[in-house]
Structure 1
Amino acid sequence: MSNKAAVLVAGSWGTALASVLADKDMEVALWTRNVVQQEEINTKHRNERFLPGVDLSPRLAATTDLEAAVRGAKAVVMVTPSSAAREVARALKPFWHEDMLVVHATKGFEIESMKRISTVIAEELGCDEGRIVVLSGPSHAEEVVNRCPTTVVVASQIAAQAELAQDLFMNPYFRVYTNRDMVGVELAGALKNIIALGAGMSDGLGYGDNAKAALLTRGLAEITRVGVEMGANPLTFAGLAGIGDLVVTATSRHSRNWRAGFMLGEGKPLETVLSQMGMVVEGIRTTKAAHAISEKYQVQMPIAAQLYHVLFEGLDPRTAVEALMGRDRKTEMEVMSLETWEQWHT
């Protein structure tokens, strides 16, 4: 059996996952469109733009040739920005075959269609969505590439596919659990980026720990509410892909979403924030998708709604906080509709 895996593309998380695979003595091809980045990885074993100061395994070889990257690979790991997922999946199609495991670790939606990334990939490959595996959980690339203990979850509608992904990645510092709730794992990974933006914004405004704790807690309720209405298991949001990923993304300076929110809270305009970040901030795109999803499913997402007003309608962040604090009285347990509750308890 082949001992090769291909990782698409060479951002921070893609490079970190490629390093995990290289540490399992696998031949790893890391695909990039950037010739300069390819040369840097292959000759200096560095990816300075995304993971400065980190020495990469010599088993990790970069290439700009997609066909060469995936040829002979038993697994392909897609770690593209959400905006590029369909394009890359379409390019992969001529080289994909039924025996090739496809794992994606992109936390976002296709904005135009509001589709999950696994759906997008399956459409382009022409396969059942159950063939795709989602990898998610609390995992900063900067820590994974330095072999800090990390635990993630892989999910697929087909248990055997998730188990293949578990075996592919699991090593002494990278522990992998399986989950059958693909929808929940994928939604949790995408939607928590919105709450992380809000947490950074709260810190940028100087609102302290009380405000951030409330934001994370009510944010989790908001994510769960929309998730179960879309068919997810509510217990998934209490796991690694849910509260685990939410905590790590909303409380760490490693998090792009937290950093972007912090700068917005300091009063910097969105254009300036994106320019200074220099990398994709998935939470900004996801906020736009969540706004549309909230309307489609008629589910209240007050935090996402206020962030949408801040990001795309110019609302002052302090005014957004005042709007959240001034909402009508609610019961804390109001997470899902009675119909959905009965669905999960019968």
Structure 2
Amino acid sequence: MNAPARRIAVLGAGSWGTTFAKLAADSNRDAQVILWARRNDVVQEINSKHTNAQYLGDTVLPSNIVATDDITAALKDSPLVVLAVPAQSLREQLQSVKGHLADDACIVSLMKGLERGTDLRMSEVISEVLEIPMDRIAVLSGPNLAMEIARKEPTASVIACSDTDRAAWIASSLVPDYFRPYTNSDVIGVEIGGIVKNVIALAVGICDGMGMGDNTKASVITRGLAETTRLAMALGGKAETLSGLAGLGDLVATCASPLSRNRTAGRLIGQGHAVDDLANHMTQTAEGTKSAAAVLHLARKNNVDMPITEAVVAVLEGTLTVDSMANRLLGRRLKSEGIPS
């Protein structure tokens, strides 16, 4: 496992999956990147025009990306398999993966969500369904807005795996001149950072939609990082991970950028749009709307106080109006700012 991967399978041809395939292909033009797409018209477009216009506009994809709608063919002889499918459909999708992985293949999760009903992180779902050890599973997270990376704007990210040699090998396969991967062994901290930031971005978006200023949004971001850190530490993650790219970095990018789906969804809610109406205004799902309740449930199971998450869930479920959200948060009892408390 010393040489970078020469064949990489990417499952999921949405914005992030396609962008990641481009990133991997740009890293090594001698490598073959197989991009699995559910729809045949997307496969035909990628192979004939080298574009995926629905998600990346006129961005030209490298010629060493080959698309297919045959998941078995995509997985064949691929030592590195990257999953970029919707979090809530992962378990079902893995049934098509099971039994077709190359021996000792590594799995990289790009997904940022908790499975509803089980509160499992994506790495845990992968391990359970595919029956492979956690040291063969890595997660990638950071301030990684897909469109900016597709435009080759410089960014950094974190690859976390309990097997540090595997993390280093994966990183060596992802080194175009516009992307810098760091490694980490704290899978829990990296995943929780990527999951909860979507919920906090919803809260920031709601504030933005209501016309609140930067003081308000900065306060939500900062206290959002505090409750994210509390949850990560309760589950065995490390506080320092949340102060890095997969925590603070991802949180700032997701809460501040107009490219962020979760911030956009929150802004629409703050402007008065119903949660059920979001699909009519967005081309992609905001994962925070799907995972927020699971995050809150996981926090309560572990006796972790997450007031911003609790308020967002109440808004999503219709038990709290957006006008009442700020009063609910500001009306809590006074306490020290200490993050772990």
- Shorter-chain TM-score bucket reads over 0.9
Is 2:8 the counterpart of 1:12?
Answer: no
Partners of 2:227 and 2:237 in 1: CA distance: 13
The 10-residue stretch of structure 1 (240-249 or 39-48) with the greater mean CA deviation from structure 2? 39-48
Is 2:125 the counterpart of 1:120?
Answer: yes
Identity across the alignment (%) = 39
Q: 2:302 aligns with which of 297, 305, 314?
A: 297
Partners of 1:129 and 1:97 in 2: CA distance: 16
2:158 maps to which residue?
Answer: 153
1:283 maps to which residue?
Answer: 288
**In the TM superposition, what is the alpha-carbon distance from 1:88 to its structure 2 partner?**
2.2
Is 2:225 the counterpart of 1:233?
Answer: no
**In the TM superposition, what is the alpha-carbon distance from 1:322 to its structure 2 partner?**
1.0
**Within 5 Å, which residues of 2 pair with 1:81-100?**
81-100=86-105
1:256 maps to which residue?
Answer: 261
**Within 5 Å, which residues of 2 pair with 1:5-154?**
5-23=8-26, 24-25=28-29, 26-154=31-159
C-alpha contact (below 8 Å) 1:30/1:62 kept by paired residues: yes
1:336 maps to which residue?
Answer: 340
**In the TM superposition, what is the alpha-carbon distance from 1:53 to its structure 2 partner?**
2.1
Unaligned 5+ runs, structure 1: 338-346
Question: What are the superposed Cα offsets for residues 3-58 of structure 1, whole Å, 9 maximum, x if unpaired?
Answer: 21110100100000100111121211110110111111111111111111211112
Q: 2:169 aligns with which of 155, 164, 187?
A: 164
Partners of 1:224 and 1:110 in 2: CA distance: 20
Partners of 2:340 and 2:154 in 1: CA distance: 34
Q: What TM-score do the two structures reach when normalised by structure 1?
A: 0.95
Counterpart AA for 1:18: A
| DSSP-derived class of the 2:82 partner | strand
| DSSP-derived class of the 1:15 partner | helix
C-alpha contact (below 8 Å) 2:208/2:217 kept by paired residues: yes
C-alpha contact (below 8 Å) 2:75/2:102 kept by paired residues: no
C-alpha contact (below 8 Å) 2:78/2:101 kept by paired residues: no
Partners of 1:297 and 1:75 in 2: CA distance: 34
**In the TM superposition, what is the alpha-carbon distance from 1:314 to its structure 2 partner?**
4.3
**In the TM superposition, what is the alpha-carbon distance from 1:307 to its structure 2 partner?**
0.5
Unaligned 5+ runs, structure 2: none
Partners of 1:85 and 1:315 in 2: CA distance: 30
The 10-residue stretch of structure 1 (77-86 or 9-18) with the greater mean CA deviation from structure 2? 77-86
Counterpart AA for 2:23: V
Counterpart AA for 2:24: L
| DSSP-derived class of the 1:313 partner | coil
Is 2:225 the counterpart of 1:220?
Answer: yes
Counterpart AA for 2:198: N
CA RMSD, 1 decimal: 1.2
C-alpha contact (below 8 Å) 1:96/1:125 kept by paired residues: no
Partners of 1:314 and 1:258 in 2: CA distance: 21
Q: What TM-score do the two structures reach when normalised by structure 2?
A: 0.96
Q: How many residues align?
A: 336
Question: What are the superposed Cα offsets for residues 68-103 of structure 1, whole Å, 9 maximum, x if unpaired?
Answer: 111121211111111121122221111113431211
Question: What are the superposed Cα offsets for residues 152-209 of structure 1, whole Å, 9 maximum, x if unpaired?
Answer: 0000111111111111112211100000101000110111100011111111111110
